[in-house]
Amino acid sequence: MAKDHLLCSLDIGSTKIATLIATLSQEDAIPKPHIIGVSTIPSRGIRKGQVVDIEETVEAISESMDAAERMAGCSVSDVHLSIGGSHIESQNSHGVVAVGNPKGEINAADVERVVEAAKAISLPSTREMLHVVPREYVVDGQKGIKDPIGMTGVRLEVDTHIIHGSTTNLQNLTKCIREVGVDVAGIVFNGIADAEAVLSETEKELGVVLVDIGGGTIDMVIFVEGAPAYSSVLPVGARNITNDIAVGLRVSLETAEKIKLELSKPPDQAMEEAGASTVSRLREKDMLDLSHLGAEADLRRISRKTLTEGIIRPRIEEIFTFIQLEIQKSGFAGTTPSGIVMTGGGSSSYGLVELGRRQIGMQVRIGVPSGMTGLVDEILTPAYSTPVGLVLYAGGLLSKEGGRSPFPRIQLGGVMGKGMDWLKNLLP
């Protein structure tokens, strides 16, 4: 009987820290992670995706992992981490090698050598490679090859997408995890994890823009012909909308967040929660009743139009302007007929899909994670796309089906080894 693997993902964001624990049975033809533990707590010690207070971050991570372990009834020894922040950058690279086999048959060693050749790019000592993703192979001038192993040729080329980040930020994150008492199994860029959870293979193949709106940052990945071609992080997020509501209405950030979430609810749900006594008032076209939220006395009723058109809409339009400029900067504008897939906690903001379609002129949909079993009711929301994607990513690496995984060519860089060496030097 095959032994189940225990997987743990840790999404350390600017707004929340989420932990998922899952098991993966190798007996299934297509293994599906089974969720057995879930925990989410407010983030501490993190700003715009980067560690700013190690002690607070360690405490928050420990609290989240302890809660998930109690629910799962087991402890974990290692985790897969997500990483974001404006320090994340990407570039595309090309590698060329001669096929080593005298008979010209390409093997795994040739593929490894050509990817290593593509990794020979000039990066500052303060940067570390996270992912090296082959986009396509070229054999003797024949382009568009996804897997060249077994083919015959004398010259092998590869186009790769390389994602790299700040060594300092990676080391700080690794240190926080090790102080909790667990090892780091892998560090994965948020956008790559999200793609595992919310994108279909058809969307990736046709071309799609994946946008994860977090509390402090927006992660973007553009897929062209089945592989990531451009990745970046924008220094804005859903917290900017909350701040605007707080300033515009002169309320606390907590009340502003409640108001933002209230606007995102379907009208029927809002009516049910407000109670029958306020139904008639809620039907007034331009008024929003906030009495059931515990809002300040003078804010029990506010103009919906003033809130949406005067405060929220300008900020959302600004966010889409940033996204549109980033798409143009990538050089891949016009190659994404599948449109934009929005995910992350901020994707539930009021009017996001409609404003995006109108402003950018592309199809926009909200991406909800899938591909899991078990305790999924709580996590089938865009806010959990990254932790779900991390579990799917880790499960893909463990999959033995043909030696393949959902992202078979993604390789973790040397950050783990360097991080370990750096930490060992601190020990007596």
- The string of pLDDT tens digits covering residues 404-415 is 333 333 333 344
Helix (H, G, I), strand (E, B) or coil at 245: helix
Flag the least confident range among 28-42, 231-245, 306-320: 28-42
Q: Which of 395, 393, 391, 419 is nearest to 68 (CA)?
A: 391
- By CB atoms closer than 10 A (0-12, 13-18, 19+), residue 237 is buried
Residue 64 corresponds to which tokens in the numbers above?
A: 């989240």
Question: pLDDT at residue 272 above 80?
Answer: no
Question: pLDDT at residue 273 above 80?
Answer: no
pLDDT at 132: 93
User: Start-end ranges of CATH 3.30.1490.110 in the chain?
Assistant: 89-165
DSSP lists the bridge partners of residue 158 as 95, 137
Instruction: Summarize pLDDT for 349-408 with one digit per residue, the tens.
Output: 888 888 889 888 889 999 999 888 888 888 889 999 999 999 988 887 665 443 333 333
When pLDDT is cut at 50, 70 and 90, the band that residue 290 belongs to is low
When pLDDT is cut at 50, 70 and 90, the band that residue 416 belongs to is very low
Yes or no: is domain 89-165 CATH 3.30.1490.110? yes
When pLDDT is cut at 50, 70 and 90, the band that residue 266 belongs to is low
Helix (H) or strand (E) holding 241: helix 238-249
Contact predicate 240/316, CB 8 Å? no
Task: Average the pLDDT over 269-280 and give the result.
Answer: 48
Q: How far apart are the first and last CA of the chain?
A: 43
Q: What share of the chain is helix, strand, coil (3-state, %, to 5)?
A: 40, 30, 30
Question: pLDDT at residue 12 above 70?
Answer: yes
Cα–Cα distance list, 354 to 145, 239, 337, 363 (Å): 38, 20, 18, 10
Question: pLDDT at residue 213 above 90?
Answer: yes
pLDDT at 296: 58
The percent of residues in the chain predicted with pLDDT above 70, rounded, is: 82
Task: Considering only residues 322 and 409, tell me which one the structure prediction assigns the higher pLDDT.
Answer: 322
Residue 53 corresponds to which tokens in the numbers above?
A: 């207070």
Flag the least confident range among 213-222, 224-233, 236-245, 265-274: 265-274
Residue 217 corresponds to which tokens in the numbers above?
A: 């940052």
DSSP state of 265: S
Alpha carbons 186 and 331: distance in angstroms, whole number: 30
Q: How many CB atoms are closer than 10 A to CB 27? A: 9
pLDDT at 24: 82
pTM score: 0.84
DSSP lists the bridge partners of residue 268 as none
Alpha carbons 352 and 358: distance in angstroms, whole number: 10
The mean pLDDT value of the chain amounts to: 83
pLDDT at 250: 81
Residue 20 corresponds to which tokens in the numbers above?
A: 């998922």
pLDDT at 195: 94
Alpha carbons 103 and 342: distance in angstroms, whole number: 48
Question: pLDDT at residue 26 above 60?
Answer: yes
